[in-house]
Amino acid sequence: MVLFYIRCPTLGVACEGVAVVTHKPRAAGGSGQQAGTARYRERTAVAARIMFLQWGWLTLIGHLYIQFSVCLSTDSLIERHAYIIPESPVRALGSQLEASCILNDTFVKKSKVDANQIFWKLKEDKISKDFYHTVNSTVSNVTLNISSVGIALLTCNVQLNEDQVTTVFGIQIRAGLPPEKPKHLSCITYHERNMTCSWNPGNNTYLPTSYQFKLSIAPDRLKSYQLLNNVNNSYTIFYPTISYFVSNKIWVEVHNDLGSAKSDVLWLDPVDVIKPDPPKITSVQHVKHISTVLTLKWENPVVPYTYDLEYNLRYRIVDNPEWMQVPPEDTKSKRKSFSVQNLKPFTDYAFTIRCKRKDEAGYWSDWSLEKIGKTPEAVPLRGPLMWRTVENQGSSERKICIMWKELDKSDANGIILKYQMTIKGKTFMKTESFGAEKLEYDLTLSNEEYEIRLNASNSAGDSPDAILIQPSTTKSALPPVQNLQAYPEDNQLLVKWKPPVSSVSGYVIEWCEESSKDSCTGPLYWRHVQKSASKAFLKDNVMPFKRYRITTYTLYSGRPGAPLSQLAYLQQDRPENGPLVHLKHVGKKEAELTWSEIPVKEMRGFITKYTIFYKSGTANETSIVVDAKYQELQLNSLTGNTLYVVRVMASTVKGGTNSSEVNFTTLNFAKGEIEAIVVPICLSFLLITVVTILLCFNKRHLIKKYVWPNVPDPANSRVVEWSPSAANLIQNNLGPKEPLNPDGFISDVTIIEADVDDEKYLSNEDEIKQLTSLKKEKSTSEEHSSGIGGSSCMSSPRQSVSDSDSESAQNTTSTVQYSTVLVSDTGYRCQQPSTQVFTRSESTQPLLENEEKTDEHAYGNFGSCSTEVKRQYFKRNASIEETCLSEPHPNGAEIVGDTNEEDSLRPNQIEISDQNSDLEGCCPTVEEFPSSNDQTVVRLEFLGFSAGLETDQQSYMPQAVKSNSYMPQSK
């Protein structure tokens, strides 16, 4: 090894280089059994070493050339201003470093600076002034604590002015750890290849550290081997430089700038630490007619001739990672084959083997490569596991599905070729054979007890029978298990139970996925459990978020007992959907809700509770928790006529899911409130109605009197009875040729309007009496006729007679409605009419239109003055108008009417001129008497008319009337 140092004084930074040249001397000595191959290997190694030395010297020369070139080039370019002592320090972690920066005198004079302007930096971080001080005008000392490992740059800097700083010198500080003593030195010999020694180098030193492996077989035969830079914990010596049967002294030395260390010395003979190669298994064969034995054969490795080997042999079933080992005492001696016994028939086994020196020295070889062998078939160990499902089809038949499972390989002992089933009852026996692919059989049996046997067959023979008894339906079921529980554990469903009091031969657990409540539509899974078990894990055919119905049966010598079921989830989650909410009833202050149970497939867990949320408008939401067994709730204390929003959340242990919101509005009135209001009102109205009817019935005569007075029917008028000759009257109205009274005539008629109360128009005392009597009759008639809406003939003037002007309407009580022409006691010219004629009825009923026309004809023919005279009389303003004088009077009489419309008080006269002295007819007597307002009262008398009247008959007298009205009179 050659060490060199190069310093460039002008640069001010020391450059150090290390070149290591290692020469491996030729191994001395050797085994007397060297062969040609060993010599060839030695020559190859020597040639490689020579080539390595040549390349090492060339690398060293190139490195030196580069270092000198850098130093020479920097010496001419950079002027040295200062330097630091020490130049390249190496310090241990936790130690101190004192360094001095010395300024060059030329730099001090030229730059006009001194040591007071020096400051220090470590890794570009400025060092505090507390750690350095000025010695003189050119020297500044700094003291550092080494607190980290690795390489750090320390620089000396000068503050030239406020804005300018220059670095005048710098050095690299190396911090690390001294080497530790190598420990646990050991060596392994690989026969005829190499010997490898290894040790524990200790902690990293963070500094360049060299390791040397040293071996000595004699005091004068020391061998030293330098390790490569990247290797510090092992070294390998290749064959044939290894010395067998000789004690070798081995140790390790380590060096760096902070110190050196040496391991403990190891004394050993390489032959004692040999690790042989593993044996090679050549074959695995089975023994004929023995299905539980396999024989292995192998080749031993090459070892020194003095070596005695022992073996370790292990095996396992191919599908099982667990190894089984042959007892070591069975393989203690050196051999090349071995027979492994107690294996399972028709099973693949993997075998491996290793070896070592028998006297406990040395190392076990590695395990050999695996070799696989298979045992032959044997008769199946047992019959298939069997179970059944029963479906009652009627009172005397059952549909039974018999199911069985394939045998495990360990039980089948070969390839199953067929199954054979025998079903036996009291009066029934049936045998069926099935292929290996069929695993169930359906049949219909009666309700009696049956024994079912099933075996499996392979090439080696038939298995023992598996027995299942189907009990009779008339017998009571055997006791079931107790306290059945099912819950998840370790990603499995754990089923636990308490055995019944009676002794059992086993258990059967069946499970299925529920698609709806108490209904399994999917496949049914089942398994047998040993009689000593009280729990079982279900891992196969179990999925999370699905509900399973788990049923456990006891077996009593193949006879099933009563079942016991439990529901379980492997893993739960919140429901997939919320419940469907309905409104059952809505009242004023309450509402009744119902909701349907969530379908089993959407539950995803057990429903633990329902939470009902409801609110109105912007009010806070209210919640009510209901147990999961209820699906209805009544909300109370609600507000009438208010809109509410309600939803129901179904919850499991993992959370809840809300239903859709349902809106409802409470009623204005509660149930019965409307009836409580309407019924009393109706009863009150009914009571009032009944009382009113009773009162009306009790006072019916008064009601009839004032509300419905008796109104004579004009059809029943007594006019016909009064008329002596109704036929003649009718004939006269139709225009007969013969007058009623041919002997009399009316010479002159004057109609005067006068106030009934004014008695000055009356000429004598008899007339006044008649007028007084008329007033009383009128007053009585008005009282009796005032009840029909004011439409009685005595309460208002007839519109057919007069136009009911304002004056007559205001004083209807003093108006004479009817007027009558009376025939005087002594007829005109001493003529007496042969018949009595009446022009008006005494009835108070207003005249009909045809009656008015009839009276007009009657008056027109009253004096036999004409046969057909249509007369309109009693007009407004007391005018009398001749409406029809189309024909001359038969007696030559002429009727002249003078009307003065300007003066309503002027008498209107009807003059009848006598143009024929020989004319026979009725002769009226006209009497005039004066009045104070220039009105003339005319009294018409038909001579001889009154003489023919009887005392008990109705008579009429002329009346003084107000304008356009008449009044009926009594005689």
Dig out the tokens for 810 from the structure.
């205001």
Burial class from Cβ neighbours inside 10 Å (0-12, 13-18, 19+) for residue 408 reads exposed
Dig out the tokens for 928 from the structure.
């005039």
Question: Which position has the token pair 């009696």?
Answer: 448
Q: Is the dihedral of CA 497, 501, 507, 508 positive or negative?
A: negative
> What would the CATH number be for the domain defined by 581-673?
2.60.40.10
Name the nearest CA neighbour of 593 among 543, 664, 656.
Answer: 664
Report d(CA 152, CA 242) in Å as an integer. Answer: 45
Q: How far is CA 490 from CA 149, 217, 483, 566, 707, in A?
A: 51, 63, 21, 19, 103
Report d(CA 189, CA 179) in Å as an integer. Answer: 28
Report d(CA 260, CA 252) in Å as an integer. Answer: 11
Look at residue 554 in the predicted model and tell me its pLDDT. 95
86 cis-preceded (ω within 30 degrees of 0)? yes
> What would the CATH number be for the domain defined by 82-176?
2.60.40.10
Is 386-569's fold the same as 581-673's? yes
352, 435 contact by CB (below 8 A): no
DSSP state, 650? E
Angle between helices 726-733 and 849-860 (to 10 degrees): 90
Q: What angle do CA 40, 45, 46 make, to 5 degrees?
A: 100
Sketch the domain layout of the chain as residue ranges. 82-176, 183-268, 280-375, 386-569, 581-673
520, 511 contact by CB (below 8 A): no
268, 247 contact by CB (below 8 A): yes
Q: How far is CA 159 from CA 58, 132, 139, 329, in A?
A: 46, 15, 15, 86
Neighbours of 123 (CB within 10 A): 12
507, 529 contact by CB (below 8 A): yes
Terminal C-alpha separation, the chain? 188
> What would the CATH number be for the domain defined by 183-268?
2.60.40.10
Report d(CA 390, CA 470) in Å as an integer. Answer: 9
The predicted model scores a pTM of: 0.47
Of the CATH numbers 3.40.50.300, 2.60.40.10, 3.40.50.10860, 3.40.30.10, which one belongs to the domain with range 280-375?
2.60.40.10
> What would the CATH number be for the domain defined by 386-569?
2.60.40.10
463, 381 contact by CB (below 8 A): yes
Report d(CA 761, CA 928) in Å as an integer. Answer: 10
- 256 - beta bridge partners? 259
Report d(CA 214, CA 262) in Å as an integer. Answer: 10
Look at residue 69 in the predicted model and tell me its pLDDT. 59
431, 420 contact by CB (below 8 A): yes
Phi, psi of 840 (to 5 degrees): -135, 155
Burial class from Cβ neighbours inside 10 Å (0-12, 13-18, 19+) for residue 819 reads buried
Report d(CA 601, CA 522) in Å as an integer. Answer: 12
353, 336 contact by CB (below 8 A): no
pLDDT less than 70: residues of the chain? 1-49, 52, 54, 63-65, 67-79, 393-394, 717-971
Look at residue 249 in the predicted model and tell me its pLDDT. 93
Question: Which position has the token pair 């009105």?
Answer: 935
The percent helix, strand, coil of the chain (3-state, each to 5) is 20, 35, 45
Dig out the tokens for 741 from the structure.
């009274």
